[in-house]
């Protein structure tokens, strides 16, 4: 079973994908994470992507689809994936349908996380992740129980994303509305779309999404 998460930057796609993957035995597949790994590794794709990501624009379909195709070839994704941040364009949506059909699988649900733009800027600018285990935190909404110590792994190093500066977030939201939001209608037309209010607290959003997945499975 494959699941697509749609939503603007900061909507909670990564947070919810991590929670749902454990619950449903699916693998989170974030093209943002894969691209950041490519940038850190200095691969040709990473070198081409880095500058675009820093500006808040979308990386080319060619690069993103190639990276996703490689990742989908790994056996751990065979039971199903939660696509977090992919597809982001109509071309990517068609490529995903074709890749999954080749493997005899298909999308069972697409969830649109619905939020308002002003709140997204606040969420993104306050965000950090544990350098040890990747657990996500937020200066106002999700602090570790013991200040400076990761709840999950006990690590004490936290990092912030380069594209989370207030100046870049506006460009990321613009790219979302222009190129990605039309996919909501695309999946609605296929009868796969559910909308979830992602302004609610994290656990309520998880519950609403889990109900959608349970119905779809
Ligand atoms: P990507 O890494 O996908 O980033 P994004 O879409 O901008 O999404 P974010 O990771 O910022 O937000 P999220 O929705 O996961 O929210 P999160 O759970 O962290 O992409 C980065 C860049 O890579 C793009 O700009 C582009 O250049 C490139 N790229 C990636 N994929 C691409 C593609 N397919 N095609 C082309 N280019 C691509 O939550 C945010 C914060 O809010 C956290 O601190 C969290 O704790 C908190 N929070 C979450 N939910 C709630 C809640 N319900 N209430 C309160 N706080 C909450
Ligand atoms: Zn940790």
pLDDT tens-digit profile, the chain (217 residues): 999 999 999 999 999 999 999 899 999 999 999 999 999 999 999 999 999 999 999 999 999 999 999 999 999 998 899 999 999 999 999 999 999 999 999 999 999 999 998 889 999 999 999 999 989 999 998 999 999 999 999 999 999 998 998 889 999 999 999 999 999 999 999 999 999 999 999 999 999 999 999 999 8
Residues 181 and 152: their CA atoms lie apart, in Å, by 34
Q: Could you report the predicted ipTM of this complex, rounded to two decimals?
A: 0.96
The reply to whether 159 belongs to the active site is no
144 lines ligand 1 (CB under 6 A): no
- Ligand closest to Cα of 150 equals 2
Which residues contact residue 198 at a Cβ distance below 8 angstroms, ignoring those fewer than 6 apart?
A: 7, 11, 12, 113, 114, 115, 205
Q: Which residues pair with 110 in a beta bridge?
A: 4, 193
Best substitution site from 5, 11, 69, 85 to test ligand 1's pocket, by max atoms within 8 Å of Cβ?
85
Q: Can you tell me which residue has the tokens 């939201």?
A: 173
């Amino acid at each position: 079973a494959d699941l697509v998460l749609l939503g603007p930057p900061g909507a909670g796609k990564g947070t919810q994908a991590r929670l749902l993957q454990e619950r449903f035995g699916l693998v989170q597949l974030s093209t943002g994470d894969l691209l950041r790994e490519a940038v850190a590794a200095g691969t040709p794709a990473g070198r081409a992507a880095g500058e675009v990501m820093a500006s808040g624009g979308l990386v080319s379909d060619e690069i993103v689809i190639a990276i996703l195709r490689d990742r989908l070839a790994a056996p751990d994704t065979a039971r199903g994936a939660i696509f977090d941040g992919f597809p982001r364009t109509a071309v990517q949506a068609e490529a995903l349908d074709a890749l999954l059909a080749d493997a005899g699988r298909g999308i069972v649900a697409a969830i649109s996380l619905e939020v308002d733009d002003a709140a997204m800027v606040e969420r993104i600018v306050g965000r950090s992740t544990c350098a040890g285990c990747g657990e996500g935190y937020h200066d106002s909404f999700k602090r570790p129980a013991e200040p400076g110590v990761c709840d999950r792994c006990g690590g004490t190093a936290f990092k912030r994303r380069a594209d989370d500066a207030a100046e870049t977030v506006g460009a990321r939201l613009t790219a979302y509305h222009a190129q990605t939001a039309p996919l909501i209608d695309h999946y609605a037309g296929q009868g796969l779309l559910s909308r979830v209010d992602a302004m609610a607290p994290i656990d309520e959003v998880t519950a609403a999404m889990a109900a959608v997945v349970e119905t779809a499975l």
